[in-house]
Amino acid sequence: MPSTLPIADPAPVDGLLPASVAEGWAGRDFGVYVHVPFCRVRCGYCDFNTYTAQEIRGVKQSDYAAQALAEIAQAGEVLSATGGAHRPVATVFFGGGTPTLLPVSQLAQLLDGIRDTWGLAPDAEVTTEANPDSVGPDSLAALAEAGFTRVSFGMQSAVPHVLATLERTHDPERIPLVVDWARAAGLQVSLDLIYGTPGESLDDWRVSLELALAQHPDHLSAYALIVETGTKLARQIARGEVAEPDDDLQADMYELADRLLAEAGYDWYELSNWARDAGRRSRHNLAYWTGQDWWGVGPGAHSHVGGVRWWNVKHPAAYAERIAAGVSPAAGRETLDEAARRTETVLLSSRISDGLPIAELGPAGRGAVAGLIADGLIDGRTALRGRVVLTLDGRLLADAVVRRLLDD
């Protein structure tokens, strides 16, 4: 979750939503995202809304669970007031930051608060992110006992000098241990990797991929490093202390990842995500890409319900102040018109292997399909069946494909 919030309309202090959000309510899944904004160390590349203990003086990490529970209670009241049908929560995702810096007892309290407010679907997916050095066998077993079903480990790399550049603190030798502990607890396992770090070679990237695949995770994410303005890494690059990521090398790294993952039996289902089978995809993230509803809890968290999008105040102190006053922590919101919804559908649905219905495109976008097939960027067979699905080359040039599909 980026640290910079959009500029839009102010949100009402009571957080109430227009009645229109209940239209089609029953046909959409509902998820909850809980942002835990605390990290032990702030990584130099990170632009997420996270804080170390030194950066949040006057805010107690131990108070956070109670504040988030209060927002969950607010959310229950707001959604009940819309008049929409009751929907149990299909997916829950604890992200950050490092959620597992909170005691398991507090994470369990938050999950109980979600369960008590809306109920959990019988097959609910409940995920927490975790750093490999922030969990042990006992804490993972306790998470599973509390109702968590899945853990996503921030592995990032298996190469010490790459981890050092990223300022990650864990030992890569710990990865097999945490994966075994999670499996013993009955949790599904996802591993998150980053490629294109300054100084990382293609051989380094292969080492990371091979170690990740040796753990036989249920799911794997691989994200190209993006140098975000204002980060320590951006300043290091500006001073010439480290090299800027190489786009061509990152493309080679993506192709290597896709090939090795496919050979190991993983299918891509989103540009940066692969799973062993459809049942092990991240259903929570798919909800974002397919326009479902979710409530984001915590500082800077974003929400979307029925075409209305809003986001909370960013700093934990401002968030705590709003919660203590009994008002909505939302800082701003926007209502998507038909043009914005169509643009988002093209942007998001084109990212996934299920594809984008050609019927969702405007006349110019439909006219661009033949040229994109000829250029080898979308699959011709699926296009004949009425959907746009990116080829490997198309995935590497996804932004350019989207621009052509949206060109009116």
Integer CA distances (angstroms), 357 to 253, 306, 341, 385, in order: 29, 20, 14, 9
Integer CA distances (angstroms), 66 to 8, 16, 149, 256, 297, in order: 29, 22, 23, 45, 12
Q: What mean pLDDT comes out for the span 35-60?
A: 82
Provide the residue ranges of all domains of the chain, joining segments of one domain with +.
Answer: 19-289, 337-408
Going 135 to 138 to 140 to 142, the CA torsion angle's sign is: negative
pLDDT for 42 equals: 76
Q: pLDDT tens for residues 148-160?
A: 999 999 999 999 9
Cβ–Cβ under 8 Å, residues 205 and 163: no
Q: With CA atoms as reference, report the closest residue to 310 among 82, 73, 3, 6.
A: 6
**Tokens of residue 125, six digits:** 């997916």
Cβ–Cβ under 8 Å, residues 52 and 26: no
Q: pLDDT tens for residues 362-388?
A: 999 999 999 999 999 999 999 999 999
3-state secondary structure 342-374: HHHHHHHHCCECCCEEHHHCCHHHHHHHHHHHH
- pLDDT for residue 2 is more than 70: no
Cβ–Cβ under 8 Å, residues 218 and 190: yes
pLDDT for 54 equals: 67
Going 396 to 400 to 402 to 405, the CA torsion angle's sign is: negative
Number of H helices, E strands in the chain: 15, 14
Q: What mean pLDDT comes out for the span 200-223?
A: 98
Confidence band for 4, pLDDT divided at 50, 70 and 90: low
Confidence band for 234, pLDDT divided at 50, 70 and 90: confident
**Tokens of residue 54, six digits:** 């030194």
Regarding pTM above 0.85, the answer is yes
CATH of 19-289, one of 3.40.50.300, 3.30.70.580, 1.10.10.10, 3.20.20.70: 3.20.20.70
φ, ψ for residue 374, nearest 5 deg: -60, -35
